[in-house]
Amino acid sequence: LYKKELEGVGDIKFQINDSNSNPNCWLFTFRTKKMRELLNYLNSKQIQSRPFWTPMNKLPMYKDLIYINENDISNKIFKECISIPSSSNLTIFDQNKVIVEIKKFYKS
């Protein structure tokens, strides 16, 4: 439902799935240059969302280690990818609430 309803909204870009795979969608993530703003907006609407992944070099226990940043894809993903609510008990009603708020965000 997310992919169908959010296709073409703002600058949202979805991961392309390989035709030989059948993803279980346990985590729904997409890219947007407005990730931080959208994250704050959704959380202010009581919709728990988070950055997709925190790169290892940003974790406190690894902050002093050498980090090779040539072709720094992990930090780009960290800055642009957001995970929105998805779980086996998420209802269509809940999903629609998330969709409506994301569309409102991009219209403002």
Mapping DSSP onto H, E and C, the string for 47-68 reads CCCEECCCCHHHCHHHCCCCCC
Would you tell me which CATH number, out of the four given (3.90.920.20, 3.90.1150.10, 3.40.640.10, 3.30.470.10), belongs to the domain 2-107?
Answer: 3.90.1150.10
**Confidence grade of residue 27 (pLDDT, cut at 50, 70, 90):** confident
**Confidence grade of residue 91 (pLDDT, cut at 50, 70, 90):** very high
| Segment 31-73, tens digit of pLDDT | 999 999 999 999 999 999 999 888 888 889 988 888 777 778 8
Is the pTM higher than 0.95? The answer reads no
Interior/surface letters 56-74, b for 16+ CB within 10 angstroms, e for the rest:
ebeeeeeeeeeeeeeeeeb
Average pLDDT in the chain: 91
| CB-CB neighbours of 16 under 10 Å | 6
